[in-house]
């Protein structure tokens, strides 16, 4: 079954006009005329076909990856409501994650609240692409307390830095 990445990234309502989704990866040129690009991938967990967050990277065509951060779904409350409603405890493999399997007619990330992720992407992109985030871009609204926008730096190999 498909991960439906284009629909997931569309749900984030990112304001970058020059973008595309290839496979399960979102690519954007937030500032026209500059070489830096934004790449967003799903970060895998130790369980097959299960994703625990997003990995954002700034990429230069000649120098490669310049910077990257990991945005965990747990850290941004993405599946808090779903997991609470389903009594999924923190010590289970499905907590704060989604996988490619889902109910027919529903997306794999069904129950996700993407506001915290979107806010974190906005904060990260403001550092590398000042002014690229459009104030007129539509936003997702969700009731409830705002979630902290914590981004953990990652190493070249993609592991979280400590």
Specify if 160 maps to a domain: no
Strand locations in 61-160, DSSP E? Answer: 64-72, 98-99, 152-153
Long-range Cβ pairs for the range 55-64 (8 Å, 24+): 55/154, 55/158, 56/121, 56/124, 56/151, 58/128, 60/35, 60/36, 61/35, 61/37, 62/35
Task: Establish if 125 belongs to a structural domain.
Answer: yes
Is 28 within a domain?
Answer: yes
Which is nearest to 148 in space by CA: 99, 83, 76, 92?
Answer: 76
Assess contact for 91 and 73: CB atoms under 8 A.
no
Tell me whether residue 140 is in a domain. yes
Question: For position 16, what pLDDT does the model report?
Answer: 92
Establish if 161 belongs to a structural domain: no
In a domain, 162, yes or no: no
159 inside domain: no
Tokens of 132: 């690229």
Please give the tally of structural domains in the chain: 1
What pLDDT score was predicted for residue 110?
87
CB 52 within 8 A of CB 58: no
Instruction: Classify residue 80: in a domain, yes or no.
Output: yes
Burial class (CB in 10 A: 0-12, 13-18, 19+), 44: middle
Q: What is the pLDDT along the chain (162 residues), one digit of tens a residue?
A: 467 899 999 999 999 989 999 999 999 999 988 999 999 999 999 988 889 999 999 999 999 999 999 999 989 989 899 888 888 888 887 888 888 877 788 888 888 899 999 999 999 999 999 999 863 354 444 434 444 444 444 444 444 443
DSSP 145: P
Across the chain, where does the E strand assignment appear? 19-22, 25-28, 37-44, 50-60, 64-72, 98-99, 152-153
Domain containing residue 79: 5-153
87: its two tokens: 């009594």
């Amino acid at each position: 079954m498909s991960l439906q990445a284009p629909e997931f990234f569309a749900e984030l309502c990112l304001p970058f006009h020059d973008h595309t989704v290839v496979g399960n990866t979102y690519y954007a040129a937030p500032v026209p005329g500059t070489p830096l690009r934004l790449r967003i991938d799903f970060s895998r967990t130790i369980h097959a076909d299960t994703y625990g967050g997003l990995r954002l990277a700034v990429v230069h065509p000649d120098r490669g990856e310049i910077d990257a951060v990991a945005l965990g779904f747990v850290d941004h409350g993405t599946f808090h409501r779903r997991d609470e409603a389903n009594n999924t405890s923190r010590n289970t493999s499905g907590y704060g994650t989604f996988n490619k399997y889902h109910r027919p007619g529903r997306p794999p990330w069904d129950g996700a609240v993407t506001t915290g992720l979107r806010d974190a992407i906005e904060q990260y992109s403001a550092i590398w692409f000042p002014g690229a985030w459009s104030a007129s871009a539509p936003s997702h609204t969700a009731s409830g307390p705002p979630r902290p926008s914590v981004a953990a730096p990652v190493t070249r190999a993609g592991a979280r830095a400590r």
